[in-house]
């Protein structure tokens, strides 16, 4: 019985009972009963108007006519989707599909009527059942289209579609159903590394590159993968790099280390260190390899600048009439550096008195002047003063020469003596005593005035 009819009956009976009690019998009672019936009718109509929206909202949805979701609307939606997509009926069978979906189904082009249940695993069955009944959407589940190849699909109920659903690919065929979180983190970590990380196959073709390849060299990753790594090496350094990588692939080397210039997209050559190690092959074939490319362009520019400075300093020192030195503050005055003027002053080549060559500079100083020269220098170093002195040396040919030396101590931040640095030049040969006496008096007067 409908709700309106039930309400009308109950209200009518209630009015009849009430009015019958109040009015008694006779003509008046009949008139009152009629009025009660009319009032009950109006009340029933009002109640029906008020309750109809609620009844409509809670009632079952109207069933769409068969094929409603596969008419023009479905074709228009599927035509605009580039990824594989299809419309499923309430039973889980394909009733409409776009060209991308049909092209991927095996056998090719025969996707209409395909039951997707047969191509899902156990977890996919539960998710598909929930989506087809409208309880939830299927967001990411693998669906087999050809052989073992899978494609990740999403399934969304069509609003007002009577159980029909839209099945749409969310990843290309062959992609894993779900990328492990650890794998995603590892890829993100590798892409954050400043060095270029690469992997090459047994023939030297690039099969992996991190994001630094594009950042440093401006080559697009898709355009670079599959190309030989050696093709990006500057022709001047290509033979050495190719020889080492070939030996690595043949298992004749355990590692590869080459400094080479790598050509960027704009044609500029970037200095890089190529390091690589082999990866064991599946059988007895050639090895693939994994490695890094480290940008050393700044270091190379610094080295070039230092070499230029050394050339300038060497040219300057070669024109100085004397010897520039750096030595340790020990009794032997062991030299760590001596300029080319060492030959003009002592007759010895710099390498003969530098380092542990077996000859120290104190041995070249005349035996009668060694103690006085050492004591004077030591005293000035203690006072942290520059020192100037005149003494005799015995040159390699055995000649006695008077030399003038000026130098100072080099100290660390903590006050420790590190070395002595100075300049030595010849002022007179043996027998030229007047020149020597005049210079000695000048030095004495200067020391007394200071």
Give the DSSP letter string of 30-65.
Answer: HHHHHHHHHHHHHHHHHHHHHHHHHHHHHSPPPPPP
Token readout for 122 is: 């156990």
Give the single-character DSSP code of 383. T
Q: Please tell me the predicted confidence (pLDDT) of residue 378.
A: 93
Query: Would you state the pLDDT for residue 171?
Result: 54
pLDDT at 311 over 90: no
Q: Looking at residues 429-446, what average pLDDT do you find?
A: 69
The mean pLDDT value for 80-88 works out to 75
Residue 323 in contact with residue 341, Cβ under 8 Å? Answer: yes
Between 320 and 12, whose confidence is greater?
320
For residue range 159-214, what is the model confidence (pLDDT) as tens digits?
555 667 777 776 554 444 445 555 556 778 888 888 999 999 989 999 999 999 99
Q: Which carries the bigger pLDDT value, residue 277 or residue 8?
A: 277
- The confidence score (pLDDT) of residue 97 equals 81
Q: How confident is the model at residue 84 (pLDDT cuts 50, 70, 90)?
A: confident
**Whole-number Cα distances in Å, 109 to 62, 113, 114, 155, 317:** 34, 11, 11, 21, 86
Q: Dump pLDDT digits (tens) for 127-154.
A: 677 666 655 555 556 666 555 556 677 7
Length of the chain, in residues: 450
pTM of the model: 0.43
Sequence-distant (≥ 6) Cβ neighbours of residue 279 within 8 angstroms: 199, 287, 288, 289, 290
Query: Please, are residues 308 and 322 in contact by the beta-carbon 8 Å criterion?
Result: no
* For range 282-309, the mean pLDDT: 86
Q: Look at residue 54 in the predicted model and tell me its pLDDT.
A: 44
Confidence at residue 69, expressed as pLDDT on a 0 to 100 scale: 45
Q: How many CB atoms lie within 10 A of CB 380?
A: 18
Q: pLDDT tens digits, residue range 390-421?
A: 999 999 999 999 999 999 999 999 989 999 99
Name the band, by pLDDT with cuts 50, 70 and 90, for residue 270. very high
Q: What's the CA gap between 277 and 255, in Å, rounded? A: 5
**pLDDT at residue number 280:** 74
User: What does the pLDDT read at residue 377?
Assistant: 94
In this prediction, residue 78 carries a pLDDT of 72
Task: Tell me the average pLDDT across 32-54.
Answer: 57
Residue 440 and residue 432: Cα distance in Å, rounded?
Answer: 13
pLDDT at 1 over 50: no
Q: What is the pLDDT of residue 357?
A: 78
Among 66-75, 249-258, 340-349, which is the least confidently predicted range?
A: 66-75
Q: How far apart, in whole angstroms, are the C-alpha atoms of residue 58 and residue 227?
A: 65
Residue 424 falls in which region: left (phi positive, over 0), alpha (psi -120 to 50) or beta: beta
State mean pLDDT over 255-280.
92
DSSP bridge partners of 335: 327, 354
Quick one: tokens of 170?
Answer: 């969310």
d(CA 282, CA 284): 7
Name the band, by pLDDT with cuts 50, 70 and 90, for residue 102: confident
- With beta carbons less than 8 A apart as the criterion, state whether 248 and 240 touch: no
> To which H or E segment does residue 292 belong?
strand 288-295
Residue 61: its pLDDT value, please? 38
Q: What is the pLDDT of residue 39?
A: 60
Burial class (CB in 10 A: 0-12, 13-18, 19+), 47: middle
Closest Cα partner for 61 from 165, 162, 156, 132? 162
Q: Please tell me the predicted confidence (pLDDT) of residue 74.
A: 67
Q: How confident is the model at residue 381 (pLDDT cuts 50, 70, 90)?
A: very high
Can the peptide bond before residue 107 be classed as cis, meaning omega within 30 degrees of 0?
Answer: yes
Across the chain, mean pLDDT equals 77
Confidence of residue 59 (pLDDT cuts 50, 70, 90): very low
Q: Residues near 290 by Cβ (< 8 Å), separated by ≥ 6?
A: 197, 198, 199, 200, 208, 276, 277, 279
Backbone Cα Rg of the chain: 50
């Amino acid at each position: 019985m409908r709700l309106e009819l039930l309400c009308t009956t109950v209200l009518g009976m209630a009015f009849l009972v009430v009015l019958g009690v109040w009015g008694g019998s006779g003509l008046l009672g009949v008139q009152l009963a009629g009025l009660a019936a009319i009032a009950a009718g109006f009340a029933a109509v009002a109640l029906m108007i008020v309750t109809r929206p609620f009844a409509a909202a809670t009632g079952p949805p109207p069933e769409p006519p068969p094929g409603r979701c596969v008419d023009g609307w479905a074709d228009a939606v599927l035509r605009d989707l580039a990824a594989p997509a299809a419309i499923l009926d309430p039973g889980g069978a394909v009733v409409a599909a776009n060209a991308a979906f049909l092209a991927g189904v095996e056998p090719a082009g025969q996707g209409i009527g395909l039951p997707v249940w047969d191509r899902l695993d156990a977890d996919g069955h539960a998710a598909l059942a929930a989506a087809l009944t409208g309880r939830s959407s299927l967001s990411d589940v693998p669906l087999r289209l050809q052989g073992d190849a899978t494609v990740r699909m999403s399934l969304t109920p069509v609003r007002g579609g009577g159980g029909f659903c839209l099945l749409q690919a969310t990843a290309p065929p062959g992609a894993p159903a779900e990328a492990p979180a650890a794998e995603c983190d590892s890829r993100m970590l590798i892409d954050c590394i400043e060095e270029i990380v690469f992997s090459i196959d047994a023939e030297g073709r690039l099969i992996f590159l991190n994001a630094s390849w594009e950042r440093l060299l401006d080559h697009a990753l898709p355009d670079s993968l599959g190309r030989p790594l050696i093709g990006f090496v500057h022709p001047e350094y290509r033979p050495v790099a190719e020889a080492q990588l070939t030996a690595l692939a043949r298992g004749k080397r355990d590692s590869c280390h080459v400094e080479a210039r790598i050509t960027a997209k704009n044609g500029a050559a970037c200095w890089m260190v190529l390091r690589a190690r082999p990866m064991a092959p599946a059988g007895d074939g050639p090895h693939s390899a994994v490695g890094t490319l480290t940008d050393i362009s700044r270091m190379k520019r610094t080295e070039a600048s230092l070499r230029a400075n050394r050339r300038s300093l060497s040219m300057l020192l070669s024109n100085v009439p004397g010897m520039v030195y750096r030595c340790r503050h020990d009794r032997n005055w062991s030299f760590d550096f001596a300029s080319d003027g060492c030959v003009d002053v002592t007759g010895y080549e710099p390498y003969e008195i530098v380092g542990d060559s077996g000859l120290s500079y104190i041995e070249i100083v005349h035996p009668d002047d060694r103690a006085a020269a050492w004591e004077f220098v030591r005293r000035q170093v203690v006072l942290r003063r520059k020192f100037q002195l005149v003494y005799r040396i015995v040159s390699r040919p055995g000649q006695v020469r008077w030399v003038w030396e000026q130098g100072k101590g080099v100290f660390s931040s903590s006050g420790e003596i590190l070395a002595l640095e100075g300049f030595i030049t010849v002022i007179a040969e043996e027998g030229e005593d007047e020149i020597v006496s005049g210079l000695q008096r000048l030095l004495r007067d200067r020391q007394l005035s200071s």
